[in-house]
Amino acid sequence: MITNKFIMTIKNPMADSIDYIIIGSGAAGIAAAQAIRNIDSSGSINIFGDEEYPFYARIRLPHFLAGEVPLEKLILKNEAWYKDQNISLYLSEPVIDVDPAEKAVVTKSGKTFDYKKLLFATGSHSFVPPFEGSDSTGVFTLRNINDAVKIMEYIKGKKQVVIIGGGLLGLEAGKALMCHGMKVCVVEYFDRLLPRQIDTQGAGVLKCMMERLGYCFHLGERISKIVRGDGGLKVIVQSGESVDGDMVLISAGVRPNIALPKKLGITDDKGILVNDYMQTSEADIFAAGDVAVHNGKYYGIWPAAKEQGKVAGANMAGAKARYEGTTMITALKVAGIDLVSIGDVQEAEQNRCIVNIDSDKGLYKKYVVKDDTLIGCILLGETTDQRRMERAIK
Same domain, 265 and 233: no
For residues 143 and 89, what is the distance between their CA atoms, to the nearest angstrom? Answer: 21
| Cα gap 193→325, rounded to integer Å | 26
Query: 10 in a domain, yes or no?
Result: no
Residue 12 has pLDDT above 50, yes or no: no
Same domain? For 194 and 118 the reply is no
Q: Both 105 and 50 in a single domain?
A: yes
Residue 382 φ then ψ, to 5°:
-155, 115
Q: Is residue 234 part of a domain?
A: yes
**Which pTM value belongs to this model?**
0.91
Instruction: Kindly report the CATH number assigned to the domain that includes residue 281.
Output: 3.50.50.60
Average pLDDT score, the chain: 92
Same-domain check for residues 239 and 269: no
Q: pLDDT (tens digit, 9 = 90+) per residue, 111-125? A: 999 999 999 999 999
Beta-carbon count within 10 A of 329 CB: 19
Task: Look up the domain containing 82 and give its range.
Answer: 17-125+254-316
> Angle at the Cα of 87 (from 84 to 89), degrees rounded to 5?
120
Calculate ∠ Cα 150-131-191, nearest 5°.
95
Sign of CA dihedral 159, 248, 334, 207: positive
pLDDT in tens, 334-345: 877 899 999 998
Q: Is 60 exceeded by the pLDDT of residue 394?
A: yes
State whether 67 and 208 are in the same domain: no
How many structural domains are present in the chain?
Answer: 3
pLDDT at 351: 85
Per-residue pLDDT tens digits for 264-318: 999 988 899 999 999 999 999 999 999 999 999 999 999 999 999 999 999 999 9
3 falls within a domain: no
Evaluate if residue 7 carries a pLDDT over 80: no
Strand-strand pairing, 183-188 and 216-219: parallel
pLDDT in tens, 355-389: 999 888 889 999 999 999 999 999 999 999 999 99
**Are 132 and 234 in the same domain?**
yes
Q: Where are the alpha helices (DSSP H) in 156-225?
A: 168-178, 200-213
pLDDT of residue 14: 39
Grade residue 195 by pLDDT with cuts at 50, 70 and 90.
confident
Alpha helical stretches, state H, the chain: 27-39, 61-65, 71-74, 79-84, 145-154, 168-178, 200-213, 259-262, 302-316, 386-393
Q: Name which of 25, 320, 37, 362 is nearest 205 in CA terms.
A: 362
82 with 143, same domain: the answer is no
Q: How many CB atoms lie within 10 A of CB 394?
A: 10
Look at residue 2 and tell me whether its pLDDT is greater than 50: no
Decide if 12 is inside a domain: no
Residue pLDDT, tens place only, 229-275: 777 899 999 888 999 999 999 999 999 999 999 999 999 888 999 99
> Is a pLDDT exceeding 60 seen at residue 45?
yes
Q: What is the pLDDT of residue 347?
A: 74
pLDDT of amino acid 16: 56
Which is more confidently placed, 267 or 20? 20
The pLDDT tens digits for 198-223 are 999 999 999 999 999 999 999 999 99
CB distance 282 to 264 below 8 Å = yes
pLDDT tens, position by position, 141-187: 999 999 999 999 999 999 999 999 999 999 999 999 999 999 999 99
